[in-house]
Amino acid sequence: MPLELVTVPCLEDNYAFLVHDADSGETAVIDVPEAGPIKDALAARGWTLSHVLLTHHHWDHVDGLPDLLADHPAKVIGAAADAHRLPPLDLAVAEGDSFTVGSDRFEVLNVSGHTVGHIAFHAPASKLVFTADSLMALGCGRLFEGTPAQMLDSMTKLAALPGDTTVCSGHEYTTTNAKFAATVDPENAALISRTQDIADKRAAGMPTVPSKLQLELDTNPFLRASDPAIARTLDMTGATPLDVFTEVRARRDRF
Ligand SMILES: [Zn+2]
């Protein structure tokens, strides 16, 4: 049985996620922007928290942890590279490590760029990947600590996962991301159609996260740095994917 996934809106525009294994009863939360909505989501389903998975050190992904642990003692897992600036970890992990929630194996990927030490969690059996502020719906995280080359490496790693993987990212930024994507990839029919779908969802008060990886591959400019159409729009025909990616990220910062 695949893990059951619940999206939990937190703060202004953050998302936390719960995954639940019905057989064992184990339940993990991925990131803790604030405790209240996560406690409510657990209580509504009668679930007991067993694991906390942290993607990176930013306050809007960890600040609710002490309050959550006070009610739900659970095993806290995060990046060994960031152990000095994360809350206390029970398990410190690095790329190549794996652990289980119920019967599902979670594999750790280093997806540095937004921060150096940012990790993603991939659960292949349930076809889920938790990317937080690395790969986002129609976007990628701002480069606060890493270089464009690091983020492009992270994008390339995530792009290699199966296309039917569900991408659980950390923020509802998709409307702005869509407006920006249209400026660098204006003739992409899949992007135009997704942009309408995003507008419809937001008008109905629905989240645009999570999304399918194949849709990101078809529409997300940060996964499409090798696409000649984007290079042409930027007047960069023949430039390397890294140069195109760097320019797209710089334009998004100014957008
Ligand atoms: Zn962040």
pLDDT at 118: 98
Residue 125, pLDDT score: 97
Instruction: Identify the pLDDT of residue 177.
Output: 97
- Give the active site residue among 21, 60, 82, 104: 60
Count CB neighbours of 59 within 10 A.
8
> Do residues 208 and 137 touch, judged by C-beta distance below 8 A?
yes
Domain 4-254: assigned CATH number: 3.60.15.10
pLDDT of residue 1: 85
Which of 20, 51, 56, 122 is the catalytic position?
56
d(CA 207, CA 62): 21
Mark whether 56 is an active-site residue.
yes
171 is catalytic: yes
- State the distance between the two ends of the chain, measured CA to CA, in whole angstroms: 43
DSSP one-letter code for 80: G
Question: Each residue of 8-42: b (16+ CB within 10 Å) or e?
Answer: bebeeebbbbbbbbeeeebbbbbbbbbbebbbebb
The ranges assigned to domains in the chain are 4-254
Q: What's the maximum distance between 2 C-alpha atoms anywhere in the chain?
A: 56
Kindly give the distance from the C-alpha atom of residue 30 to the centroid of ligand 1, in angstroms, as a whole number: 13
Question: What's the CA-to-centroid distance between 58 and ligand 1, angstroms?
Answer: 5
Tokens of 184: 């660098």
**Splitting the chain (255 residues) into consecutive groups of 10 residues, what average pLDDT does each group show?**
96 97 97 98 98 98 98 97 97 98 96 98 98 98 98 98 98 97 98 98 97 98 97 97 98 97
pLDDT for the residue numbered 162:
98
Ligand 1 centre from 59 Cα, in Å?
8
Determine whether 133 is an active site residue.
Answer: yes
Alpha-carbon gap, residue 103 to 81, rounded angstroms: 27
Instruction: Tell me how far apart the alpha carbons of residues 198 and 32 are, in angstroms, rounded to a whole number.
Output: 25
